[in-house]
Each structure stands twice: as C-alpha cells, then as structure tokens.
Chains A and B, each alone.
Chain A
Amino acid sequence: MTLDETRPGQAFTVLSIADEMARLQAIRFGIAEGARAICQTVLPGGPVVVRKGKQEMALGRSLAHRIQVQPVEG
C-alpha cells in the first residue's frame, strides 16, 4: 500500500520512495527505506504526519502517494 492510505496508529516499514530529493531528505530525517515508523495523523485531503521514535515529520499528500509501505503489527 502507499503511505497516504495508512490510518493513524498504523505501524509500517518504508519500502520505497519514488522521488530522489525526498529520498535523500528522508534519509537525513531518519525515515529511509527499510525504516519502521508509525502514522501519527492524516489531515483530511492534506499531509500525512509520521513518527519514528520521538521524531515527527509531515509529508505532502502527493509525496505520500509515491511512498510504498508494508504494514506491520503494532
């Protein structure tokens, strides 16, 4: 599934990020491919907020749609 389809509270592993700049930036933030994170909030029609540890970041809806994730149990 893609990141924009996750629901708040859903844990997932990042499989791929189909945007080079976003991929590099995500590595810096610590949410690289292979990282495990949790969907924190989804703003209606807007960005997805994800959390990894104490780190929170927001991704625009169109970017979230280009990120493949694998849901994992809690």
Chain B
Amino acid sequence: MAQECCEPQVEAVHEGDRRVVLAGNPNVGKSAVFHGLTGVYVEVSNYPGTTVDISSGRLGDMVVYDTPGVYGISQFNEEERVAREVILQADVVVNVVDAAHLDRDLFLTLQLLDMGFPAVVALNMMDEAKANGLAIDVAALSEALGVEVIPMVATRGQGIEKLREAIGRARPGRITPALQKLLPQVTPAADALLIAEDDEDACRRHGMAVPGTREEVYRLRRERADEITAKVVRETTEGASLSVRLGRLSLHPLWGSLMLIAVMVAVYYILAVGVAQWVVGITEEEWMGGYYIPWITALGSRMLNPDSFLGKGLFGEFGLLTMTVSYILGLLLPMVLGFYLILSFMEDSGYLPRVAVLVDRWMNKVGLNGRAIIPTILGFGCVTMATMSTRLMGSQRERTIASFLLSLAIPCSAQLAVIAAMLAPLGAGYFVLFGLILFLVYGAAGALLNRVLPGESTPLLIDLPPLRWPNLANMLRKTFLKSKMFLFEAGPIFAAGSLLISAMDAWGILDRLQQGLAPITEGWLGLPRAAANAFIMGFVRRDFGAAGLYDLSLTAHQTMVALMTITLFVPCIASVMILLKERGRKEGALIWVADLVLAIFTGGLLHRILLVF
C-alpha cells in the first residue's frame, strides 16, 4: 500500500512515558495479550517504508507497542528489521512465549535478556501445553531466567491482570554466562550484544569491524535454552492433542492434498459464488444500479447540463459520482472484505504455513519456494500490495520472479469479480479453461525465468504452528483494518482514473487511440473496436479494463479472448508504480513491456485456437 497515506499514527508519546514493547515468536497469541493489556483504543499503522503494521495503545502512563512475530532479533527479513527497531526503543519488554513450544521460544527470550532489557515473560497458551501433555515448573523457569514469569491463557483473559502488575516490577534478567567473553565493552548493553551477533548497523555505529562471532553466540544461547527446557518442562503423557494430530494429517501426502483441494473449493465458492455473485448482485445491481445511480443521475441533471464537461465527468457513464462510487462500494468493497477475511482465517488458524509446505515442490519449478504462496494469495486480493510483500522473500532472484508472475498472471480481486461475473453466464467449462490457460502461462513464464536468471533461490525452512480455531475478534479486526487501508489507497487512484477517462473521452483521445489500436484489437484479437477502450482503461486500473468489457455484448469466444488479454495485459497504474519502485526502473520497465507483449500474443493465439473448435 502507498506509504504516504499511512504515516505511523502511534499513540501520542509524552516525554517520560515508558515504552512497553511486546515481543514474541509468530502465532504465540501476542495480539490477544496486547488487546488484553490495552483495551479497545488501539492505533494501527504501517511502519514507515514497510508493509508491516505496528499497533500501539495505552496502559496507564505507559505506551504499549505490538511487534511482528519473529524468532530472533536480527535483520533476516523485513519483519525482523521492524521488530528490531521497535524493540531497541523499549523501556520494558514483555516477551510472549508459547508454553507448548518453550524450547523454540526461549531463544528469543534469552536474546532479549542478553540485550539487557528489563523484562517480564508472559507464558501464554498454558491450556494448549496441558492438552499436549506438558507440565511447566513456572518458579524454576523464573529462577533460571531471572525475570518474572506469568502463566496465562490470553484469549480467555487469564493472567492479564497479573501481567499488568508485573510490568511495573520488570527487571533485567540473567545474561547467558558463557557469552561474557564475546561481548565488546560498549554501552548500551543491547548494542554490545548486537555487535557480538555481527549486526552491521551496530558495528558501524560504534566504528567496529564485524567480529564474525554470531554463530558461536547463537550456539551458546541454544545450549542454554535447551538446558532450561530440560529442567522446567516435564512430559506428563505422550499425548498429542486433536489439533496436533489434525496438523499432521494436513501434511499427509494423500489426505493433506485432499484437504487442500477441499479448502480451495470452499474458498472458491465463498468468493466467486457467494461474494462475487450473490453479495455483489445485491450491492452493485440492486443498491447501486437500482437506487443509487438513478438517484444521483437525476440529482446531477438538475444541477448541471449532463452533456457539459463537468456533467459528464461527475454524472456520466464513467462519472466520478456514478461509476466510481458504484464500483468502489458495490463491487470492490465486498470482494476485498471477503478476501481478507479468508486470508486472516488461514493465517490465524496456522493453515497458511502448511499450504506453503504442500505447494513447495511446485513453486520450486518456477524458482520460488513454498513461502511464495503468501504473495500469490495476496495477489488475488491486490497485486500492488502483493508486489510489496515480495520483500519477505529470501533473495533478489525470487523477488524478480515473483514480481513478474504477479504482474502477468495473477488477477486481483477487483478483476476476479469482473472475470467471475462475465464468465458465469458461459458455464463452468469456461471457468476451467480460463484457469487452466492462466496456470499454463504462469508455469511457463516462471519456469523460463528460473532457467535464464543466474543464481539460486533460497530453500523452504519454516516452523509449523499447531492448527487452532482462530479468534473471531482478531480476524475481524485484521479484515477491517486491511480493507480500510486498501480502500483508502484504491479510492483516489480509482477517482483519478475515472476523471482521466472522462477527459480523454471529451477531447476525442479515446476515439483516436481506438483507431490506432484497431489492427490489434480487430485484426489480431478478433474483438470489436471499442474493446480497445477497455484495454486503455486497464492502464488506469486493472479492473477498469475488465469492467469496460461489460457493455460490449461479446460472444463467448470473444469474452474469453478479451478477458485473457486484459488479465495478462498490464497491471493497474498503482502496481506499475510499485513495480518500478521495488524492482528499479530498468527491470520494472522490462517486466511491463514483457507483460504487454505476452498478453497480446497469448490473446491472439487463444483467438486462433478457439476458431478451430
């Protein structure tokens, strides 16, 4: 999303306010602890220059910050960089730990203590640990760490009150003893540790050379974490809870694949049938088309001459107050909400990393690893945002491949809505054919890039959280937040595009472009001349292009060719801007031209193949 609109609106910090920072591994219930501590008044904003959001709220005279879940404080990816920045500003750190995965989580805990922060450990998910047959000696853990440990079940509010009190008593814990000899004599203590861990920023700040001791520090810390775990965790039964067993089943070669197919079919029905047809049918056709547009058009014609420049721009076919409002509220909003709700569900339930494992083998074929499923899914929501999210990938090579495939063969939610609406009357066969062709183009382009680009892609290496039923309030919160940000970004671009088209129409530029493109649209693609209109609008916004085809009364054959060309064609202007910014001007422009050529080529080819049948 655009950065300008999202300056960090963190709670106003007053001089002397203490900063409490929540830190923990992913999926340990940090946001439940955060909301338990701060209540309902929470600010959420993008961290400047990133796609990562940071929440902040107040607890008495303290400001509480939530950070992205990380396994350690370093600069391995964007989320770690953000977490590191926020944690380094902390007066007190509340380390949220998953009681069922103590050995993993203690690595971060010990790292925070080694940095010298006054801390409290929130030992969350005690219920899950118990269900998995684990008993934890809380007093011994607290003794070993040197800080208070508060057992909790944050989703049910258990332990929140005790944690709140303990924050006031936070104190620095025990530093890993064997580490002393590796720490340079600098202050603050956090910098000393960062230097010992080869952190380039910290070394530069203190004018020191990178010592190359990171792996040794990591090993010493891991040894201590394992020792502590062995001392405080006792397995009472061999039992694996239902969620653990279900999690294992979800990766079974056969059952896992069947489960994935079932999930995909369910998602398809919810989005393509439920939202795109049923909900949008009500919001766009009944509410917008039936009530709003006739009303606003009648109102407009009383105030302005409908044939004047302003009249057309505001109330005409592509008008700001007619088409723009109708598409944003009637079409985009329901799709975006539905999409983000499903993504939140997959994320919070722990199913998303399992999808990454299941698709890893196939993603390797296009030079990506299973984690690329996240930008891919996001791309079906918004290609612009997905292109930014490629920052989480391990190498520039993967970012190039992913950005190209996103801009070429992944239709965004706005476009999908139009594709679904236009293909629906043609029957299921056309859906399958359309999906198949898109899949082929995706695979062929990716495989080719993987072959010609130098270097190697990074392998998959992920932690698998247990499957759990997501917290509905958290899911809804995330959905509304992301949808709001999306619409705030999409709205102005949509409006500007609408005005641009009206102006081009009024000045006759549209006609001339249509004439100029006629050999391509009519000759090569076999479409009516006015289809060029839709292609040009596609520059302004991807879904505009597809939406412009609505009115052309195309045959089934023409619909397929036109939709395919427009899907592959060019991403919307916002995604082009992001592409140029993320991949550099040269590479970005190259990707754009490649999209154009491939779209027109594939469209024409499809036209000729369909003629045969």
Q: Which residues from chain A sit less than 8 Å from chain B, CB to CB? A: 19, 21-30, 32, 35, 40-41, 43-47, 49, 52-63
Q: What residues on B are CB-neighbors of A22 within 8 Å?
A: 459, 461
Does A49 lie within 8 Å of B464, measured CB to CB?
A: yes
**CA–CA, A30 and B360, complex, Å:** 22
Instruction: Tell me, rounded to whole Å, the shortest Cβ–Cβ distance linking A27 to chain B.
Output: 4
**CA–CA, A27 and B104, complex, Å:** 9
Closest B residue, CB atoms, query A46: B361
Does A19 lie within 8 Å of B361, measured CB to CB?
A: no
**CA–CA, A65 and B586, complex, Å:** 36
Does B107 lie within 8 Å of A52, measured CB to CB?
A: no
Given contacts A43-B357, A45-B361, A61-B361, contact A55 B248 (CB under 8 A): no
Q: What residues on B are CB-neighbors of A26 within 8 Å?
A: 461
Of the candidates B101, B219, B248, B358, the one whose C-beta lies within 8 Å of that of A43 is B358
Does B71 lie within 8 Å of A29, measured CB to CB?
A: yes
Does A58 lie within 8 Å of B253, measured CB to CB?
A: no
Does B253 lie within 8 Å of A28, measured CB to CB?
A: no
Q: In the complex, which residues 242-267 of chain B have their Cβ closer than 8 Å to any Cβ of chain A?
A: 244, 247-248, 251-253, 256
Does A27 lie within 8 Å of B459, measured CB to CB?
A: no
Q: Which residues from chain B sit less than 8 Å from chain A, CB to CB? A: 71-72, 76, 100-101, 103-104, 107-108, 132, 134, 214-215, 218-219, 221-222, 225-226, 229, 244, 247-248, 251-253, 256, 353, 356-358, 360-361, 364, 369-370, 394, 458-464
Q: Which of A19, A56, A63 is the most central at the interface, judged by chain B CB atoms within 10 Å of its CB? A: A56
Does A41 lie within 8 Å of B252, measured CB to CB?
A: yes
Instruction: Tell me, rounded to whole Å, the shortest Cβ–Cβ distance linking A10 to chain B.
Output: 16
Instruction: Tell me, rounded to whole Å, the shortest Cβ–Cβ distance linking B131 to chain A.
Output: 11
Q: What residues on B are CB-neighbors of A40 within 8 Å?
A: 248, 251
Q: Which of A26, A32, A54 is the most central at the interface, judged by chain B CB atoms within 10 Å of its CB? A: A54
Closest B residue, CB atoms, query A23: B215
Q: Which of A22, A23, A55 is the most central at the interface, judged by chain B CB atoms within 10 Å of its CB? A: A55
Does A54 lie within 8 Å of B134, measured CB to CB?
A: yes
Instruction: Tell me, rounded to whole Å, the shortest Cβ–Cβ distance linking A6 to chain B.
Output: 15
Given contacts A47-B370, A56-B464, A59-B461, contact A29 B104 (CB under 8 A): yes
**A interface, over-half SS:** mixed
**CA–CA, A62 and B460, complex, Å:** 9
Given contacts A57-B461, A57-B464, A58-B461, contact A47 B218 (CB under 8 A): no
Q: What residues on B are CB-neighbors of A24 within 8 Å?
A: 76, 214-215, 218
Given contacts A46-B361, A54-B100, contact A28 B72 (CB under 8 A): yes
Q: What residues on B are CB-neighbors of A63 within 8 Å?
A: 459-461
Instruction: Tell me, rounded to whole Å, the shortest Cβ–Cβ distance linking A29 to chain B.
Output: 6
Given contacts A55-B463, A58-B464, contact A30 B104 (CB under 8 A): yes
**CA–CA, A53 and B238, complex, Å:** 10
Instruction: Tell me, rounded to whole Å, the shortest Cβ–Cβ distance linking A63 to chain B.
Output: 4
Contact sample, A vs B, 10 pairs, CB 8 Å cutoff: A28-B108, A28-B218, A28-B222, A30-B103, A30-B226, A55-B101, A56-B464, A58-B356, A60-B459, A61-B360
Does A21 lie within 8 Å of B458, measured CB to CB?
A: yes
Given contacts A47-B357, A54-B132, A56-B247, contact A30 B462 (CB under 8 A): no
Instruction: Tell me, rounded to whole Å, the shortest Cβ–Cβ distance linking B217 to chain A.
Output: 10
Q: What residues on A are CB-neighbors of B464 within 8 Å?
A: 49, 56-58
Instruction: Tell me, rounded to whole Å, the shortest Cβ–Cβ distance linking B239 to chain A.
Output: 11
**CA–CA, A53 and B230, complex, Å:** 11
Closest A residue, CB atoms, query B108: A28
Q: What residues on A are CB-neighbors of B458 within 8 Å?
A: 21
Given contacts A30-B104, A44-B253, A55-B463, contact A60 B369 (CB under 8 A): yes
Does A61 lie within 8 Å of B364, measured CB to CB?
A: yes
Closest B residue, CB atoms, query A33: B219
Of the candidates A21, A55, A59, A62, the one whose C-beta lies within 8 Å of that of B394 is A21
Of the candidates A35, A41, A44, A54, the one whose C-beta lies within 8 Å of that of B101 is A54
Q: What residues on A are CB-neighbors of B226 within 8 Å?
A: 30, 35
Closest A residue, CB atoms, query B226: A30
Closest 5 CB pairs of A and B: A60-B460, A63-B459, A46-B361, A60-B459, A56-B464
Does A28 lie within 8 Å of B71, measured CB to CB?
A: yes
Q: What residues on B are CB-neighbors of A52 within 8 Å?
A: 103
**CA–CA, A46 and B134, complex, Å:** 31
Instruction: Tell me, rounded to whole Å, the shortest Cβ–Cβ distance linking B227 to chain A.
Output: 12
